[in-house]
Chains A and B, each alone.
Chain A
Amino acid sequence: MRRLRPETRWAYVFLLPWLIGLVVFQAGPMLASLVLSFTRYDLIGAPEFAGTANYARMLEDPRVSRAIGNTVVYTLLHVPLAIAFALALALVLNRVTGRAAGAFRTIFYLPSMTPYVAVGVLFLFLLNGQAGMVNQFLALFGIEGPQWTTDPDWILMGIVLMSLWNLGSTTIILFAALRNVPRELSEAAMIDGAGTWQRFRAVTLPMISSALFFVVIINTIASLQMFDQVYTMFFGNQVAQQSYGDAALFYVVYLFQQAFQFLHMGYASALAWVLFLVIAAITLVQVKVGNRLVYYEAEEHAG
């Protein structure tokens, strides 16, 4: 081996923790999980080669399609709603300056400091069909609220509602982006006679497009991996699990059950790899689309 300069050797010393972690906890497990996905493995015997049986089984497993359906519906509802509400909040925050904005920002972030298990517990009570606060509130307007936590047709909607309590970080990211929009641009547009909507559409939106794009990606990825709140509310207890069937079955919940309840490590690995491919593909597509839609300040200066 060629002798390395001492500086280079030291560089690798500093990188060593990362490199070890990369091999042992990232790349290694990724590959291991790919290999395991082609086996049957229950932790007791040695893994048995099973070809593509796990993947074939996924195609036929009705619980997989149910879990995918629930997860996709949740994501399609949560992401646009969460971003629309967060953007609205951030826009209003941006109109009040100084201490007030800071105080409100703190309040909006507080729900995000509630551990997901506690969020799940809290919403089991708030969404309670008979006596929960949400339905008591609706009753004030003469609306009879649904059985959010037990009616299979309404469980997902209840989960979406719960997820909208947690807009803190998305709001903060969008608010920070709005604060970076040079006021001169908006003022110039105003002088040119642009109305509020036109200014938002032609100035603000392009200037915060990279932040918007970023929150779409992180919210999508997080939604696809929803676990804690749902598991707290609807799983882990057999009495609870039976009553509402699979109405609250999310993909990662099913993956977790297969791996650690049924010890189907091979099947769980196949589920995991499909999730990885889906998330990688979504990220890639979003980046491609994003590059076309997002306005990057730097490009303009470079060009």
Chain B
Amino acid sequence: MTAAEPVRAPGRAGPARAAAPAPDPAGRGTRKVFFLTVLAAASVIFLYPFVWLVVASLKPRDRTFSDPFLPWPVPFRPENYAAVWDAAPMLAWLVNTVVVGVAAALAVTLSSAFVAFGFAYFRFPGRNLIFGSVLATMMLPAAVTLVPTFLIWNAAGLTGTQVPLWAGNLFGSAFYIFLLRQFLLGVPRYVFEAARVDGASYLDLFRRIALPLSRPALIIAFVFELKASWFDLMKPLIYLQDPALYTLPRGLKAVVDQFYQGGDPKWEIVLAASVVTTLPLVVVFFLGQRYFVQGIATTGRR
């Protein structure tokens, strides 16, 4: 399966090797300056929309579009953030997003690790066939199962609750199972066998050895699923009707519909709400940065 290509054994994850000193022909210095200039220019392009967003969210409405290249707010209007809190239940949405996100991430991490241990440790009839099913579902577009999945949650009487936003994750997810299995295959078998000889049960092997040893891969799975859940708009659109249960993306969509598209234009509120939706995730990114970079390089998740 092609998705397997960029995945490497855990020992080789990370940056492959220190850059060897290259021969140093003349002109290398100026070329380096050139490359750094290109990268700096690209950085401005990637960063400036953030700057604009934050700056515009701190200005009064009639100045939203003024001075787009001035990187600080004039006049400064931090009251916009108080106005957001009054206009929409941002705090409740933030709490919902964190609760749903942590539930989704914990569920998928633990269940995927459980299944991955099964694939990595045991040899049993049908293993390759079942593992093939893991690989096959990786490319399955979520849109295909949208309707029947909705019918399942509807039949279970759980539409209108947050359960469908995370409970599907209790059964593992192909990408993370794949990642964790690769990781566990890198653990020498005698580590497990020694524990078996000492009388450890299979559950002990999973809990006491596999779980602690795969910590970096578990963190990768956790942060990626947290991000995916924080991004998700489709499931909250389908399953949530009560605004009190909204997550931030769903809430932000409601804010846009009311204050940008609707007859009551309050751009500053839309902008401030966007900052509130984005900022926590940026903080998570800075805390877990190296796991994100490793995770993308090894699994290709976005």
Interface residues in chain A, defined as those with a beta carbon under 8 Å from any beta carbon in chain B:
7-8, 10-15, 17-22, 24-26, 28-30, 32-33, 36, 43, 89, 92-93, 95-98, 100, 104-118, 120-122, 124-126, 128, 130-133, 136-137, 165, 168-169, 172-173, 175-177, 179-180, 183, 187, 210-211, 213-215, 217-218, 221-222, 224-225, 227-228, 231-232, 236-237, 239-240, 252, 255-256, 259-260, 265, 268-269, 272-273, 275-276, 279-280, 283, 286-287, 290
Considering only CB atoms, which chain B residue lies closest to A100 in the complex?
A: B36
Considering only CB atoms, which chain B residue lies closest to A18 in the complex?
A: B115
* Complex Cα spacing A268 to B6, Å: 34
Partner of A18, one of B19, B49, B177: B177
Partner of A8, one of B47, B122, B133: B122
Instruction: Take A107-B46, A232-B253 as given contacts and tell me if A22 and B170 are in contact as well, using a CB distance cutoff of 8 Å.
Output: no
Partner of A259, one of B22, B36, B43, B150: B150
Q: Does B94 contact A (CB under 8 A)?
A: no
Considering only CB atoms, which chain A residue lies closest to B284 in the complex?
A: A113
Contact B300 A116 (CB under 8 A): no
Stretch of B83-91, B214-222, B229-237 contacting A (4+ beta carbons < 8 Å) = B229-237
* Complex Cα spacing A222 to B301, Å: 11
Instruction: Take A115-B249, A177-B6, A239-B261 as given contacts and tell me if A29 and B233 are in contact as well, using a CB distance cutoff of 8 Å.
Output: no
Contact A117 B296 (CB under 8 A): no
Q: Does B282 contact A (CB under 8 A)?
A: yes
Contact A15 B130 (CB under 8 A): yes
Partner of A108, one of B42, B114, B285: B42
Partner of A14, one of B52, B114, B292: B114
User: How far does the Cβ of A200 sit from chain B's closest Cβ, in whole Å?
Assistant: 15
Residues of B within 8 A of A268 (CB): 146-147
Instruction: Take A32-B148, A211-B6, A255-B146 as given contacts and tell me if A275 and B35 are in contact as well, using a CB distance cutoff of 8 Å.
Output: no
Q: Does B190 contact A (CB under 8 A)?
A: no
Contact A214 B125 (CB under 8 A): no
Residues of A within 8 A of B36 (CB): 96, 100
Q: Does B140 contact A (CB under 8 A)?
A: yes
Residues of B within 8 A of A173 (CB): 6, 296-297, 300
Residues of A within 8 A of B230 (CB): 115
Q: Does B3 contact A (CB under 8 A)?
A: yes
Main secondary structure of the interface of A (DSSP, over half): helix
Q: Does B260 contact A (CB under 8 A)?
A: yes
Contact A256 B149 (CB under 8 A): no
Instruction: Take A28-B148, A113-B227 as given contacts and tell me if A214 and B122 are in contact as well, using a CB distance cutoff of 8 Å.
Output: no
Residues of B within 8 A of A29 (CB): 144-145, 147-149, 152
28 example contacts (A-B, Cβ-Cβ < 8 A) are as follows A11-B124, A13-B202, A14-B119, A14-B121, A19-B130, A25-B149, A26-B145, A29-B144, A29-B148, A33-B145, A92-B42, A104-B39, A113-B284, A115-B278, A116-B249, A117-B249, A121-B256, A125-B271, A126-B49, A169-B296, A211-B6, A215-B300, A225-B141, A227-B233, A237-B261, A239-B261, A268-B146, A290-B2
Q: Does B118 contact A (CB under 8 A)?
A: yes
Q: Does B166 contact A (CB under 8 A)?
A: no
Contact A169 B300 (CB under 8 A): yes
- Counting chain B CB atoms within 10 Å of each CB, which of A18, A95, A283 scores highest? A18
Contact residues, B1-40 vs A (CB, 8 A): 2-3, 5-6, 15-17, 19-20, 22-23, 31-32, 35-36, 38-39
Contact A279 B139 (CB under 8 A): yes
- Counting chain A CB atoms within 10 Å of each CB, which of B69, B134, B296 scores highest? B296
Q: Does B68 contact A (CB under 8 A)?
A: yes
Instruction: Take A18-B134, A26-B137, A98-B19 as given contacts and tell me if A169 and B302 are in contact as well, using a CB distance cutoff of 8 Å.
Output: yes
Considering only CB atoms, which chain A residue lies closest to B116 in the complex?
A: A14
Contact B293 A172 (CB under 8 A): yes
Contact B39 A22 (CB under 8 A): no
Residues of A within 8 A of B111 (CB): 17
Considering only CB atoms, which chain B residue lies closest to A123 in the complex?
A: B49
Residues of A within 8 A of B289 (CB): 106
Residues of B within 8 A of A105 (CB): 293
Contact A14 B260 (CB under 8 A): no
Contact with A along B250-261 (1 / 0, CB 8 A): 001100110011
Q: Does B53 contact A (CB under 8 A)?
A: yes
List of 5 A-B pairs having minimum Cβ-Cβ separation, nearest first: A21-B171, A14-B118, A11-B122, A131-B65, A29-B148
Instruction: Take A25-B149, A237-B262 as given contacts and tell me if A112 and B302 are in contact as well, using a CB distance cutoff of 8 Å.
Output: yes
* Complex Cα spacing A179 to B301, Å: 19
